[in-house]
Amino acid sequence: MTGPLIIVNLKAYAEGTGEQATRIAAAAREVAEESGAVIGVAPAYTDLGIIARDYDVPVYAQHIDGVVPGAHTGHVTAEQVRAAGAFGTLVNHSERRLTLAEIDAALSAARRCGLQAVICTNNVATTAAAAALAPEYVAIEPPELIGTGVSVSKADPGIIERSVAAVRAVNPEVKVLTGAGISTGECVKIALELGTDGVLLASGVVKARDPAAALRDLVSLL
């Protein structure tokens, strides 16, 4: 993939489940085709296979467990989401936090199955530590701003700049996303100007009355 990456995390929102999930995936495909932007979606496991099959967009799992296939009731393996059609996976989202050992195991599982990994972090120190593991992406999201509608790119641009600098110092091959409160094209533009490679967001699109219009706004200043 080339160009800035936008990942829409559908979380467990009712507005991002079932038919609503496919509506958002269709909007992502439509706006990506119109704009040339790279727009991925991270649906619930129950919708992942359908979206991966029917919509030509990068599909990310919201989480994987760092275990191999076997006697692991209730776990979700990298092999399972890859077989369902996933392109990548989030790891260590602030709503699904892991220990360092669990992050490392999940990343190893993602690599084993050819899944692009996006490790989520909440401050500069954890961002640097995540970069040392060499995932494809790290995503800095101050948890206090998630879901507030207050954009990190405006409320705390310094954490983005310091995170980008930390990643570049540790491993310049790792790309940086930012999230928390991202909802407009201006938010995306500022995030990119601060050195990131894209954004990770959720409610700004998932809870929008018109997801396609929300996505068009996000890419409008690219």
- Domain ranges across the chain: 5-135+150-172+203-218
* pLDDT tens figures, 106-159: 999 999 999 999 999 999 999 999 999 999 999 998 766 666 666 776 767 888
10 among the known binding-site residues? yes
In CATH terms, the superfamily for domain 5-135+150-172+203-218 is Aldolase class I (3.20.20.70)
Angle at 59 between CA 67 and CA 157, to 5 degrees: 95
* pLDDT tens figures, 15-53: 999 999 999 999 999 999 999 999 999 999 999 999 999
202 among the known binding-site residues? yes
Positions annotated as catalytic residues are 93, 141
Please give the pLDDT value at position 179.
83
11 among the known binding-site residues? yes
Q: Hey, which bits of 33-73 come out as E strands?
A: 38-42, 60-61
151 among the known binding-site residues? no
189 among the known binding-site residues? no
Q: Do 119 and 103 form a contact (C-beta atoms < 8 A)?
A: yes
Q: Rounded distance, CA 173 to CA 80, Å?
A: 28
Is residue 14's pLDDT more than 90? yes
* pLDDT tens figures, 156-188: 788 888 999 999 999 999 999 998 778 889 989
User: Could you identify the residue written with the tokens 């990131």?
Assistant: 196
pTM above 0.85, yes or no: yes
